[in-house]
Structure 1
Amino acid sequence: MGEKNPTEPCSCSEARAYLERFLDQECDQDLQTRLAEHVESCEHCSRQADAERHLRELVRSRCAEQAPAALRARVLGYLSTARITSTTTVGVSTTRITTTVVRTERFGRG
């Protein structure tokens, strides 16, 4: 989706199209500014943005539970093992080794 001229006011349809990127602050600075001005001045788009923010907060607050330590250790152990697959076809042998390494980081709630 192409971005409009940075001097033109943002329309409701453009605000709807870029709402998620706007809330994630993933737009270029000109578009981010235009969207912020529009959302601030348009009651409908302001309600849409507020509803999306509220939904995100609900999802974030409900997804705070962690898996039990034993389950987490089993899953991480499984994911970090090497898997070897061998096949032989008419005298040609093929071996594929796949290793998956999983790094985890803890993110704070915020």
Structure 2
Amino acid sequence: MPDPRIVDCAYVEERVQQFLDGELSETEADELRFHLDACAHCIDGADLIEAYRRLVRRSCASHAPESLRLRIITQIHAVQVTRIEIREV
């Protein structure tokens, strides 16, 4: 694992998604925090990613219309009914 004093932007860019998801070890997360505290470019990038995530979460809060949900369920059932299994005898 890289020393936090020498973590570069490329290292941060490769791991920022995992960092934001809380998927890094504590040591790796500390390395990224150390770099982000000192690098305006990387913190701006991380902030932008987080803003996109918030936008997607807000957009996904809406529910599909009931008519769409029923059409999808109908299509799923149609596909399940038309499935044919061939077994060797």
State whether TM-score is above 0.5. Answer: yes
For the pair 1:57 / 2:20, whether they are aligned, the reply is: no
What amino acid does structure 1 have at the position aligned with 2:37?
E
SS at match of 2:62: coil
Higher relative contact order (CA 8 A, sep 6+): 2
How many matched pairs? Answer: 83
What amino acid does structure 1 have at the position aligned with 2:35?
H
Match of 1:107 in 2: none
Q: Rg larger in 1 or in 2?
A: 1
Normalised by the length of structure 1, the TM-score is 0.62
SS at match of 2:82: strand
**What's the RMSD between the two structures over aligned residues?**
2.1
The answer to which structure has the higher strand fraction is: 1
Match of 1:20 in 2: 17
Identity of aligned residues (%): 29
Map 1:1-110; keep pairs closer than 5 Å: 4-5=1-2, 8-9=3-4, 10-80=7-77, 81-85=80-84, 94=86
Cα offsets for 1:58-78 (capped at 9, x unmatched): 222223322111321331343
Unaligned segments of structure 1, at least 5 residues:
87-93, 96-110
- Aligned-partner Cα distance in 1 for 2:84–2:15: 45
Match of 1:108 in 2: none
Normalised by the length of structure 2, the TM-score is 0.73
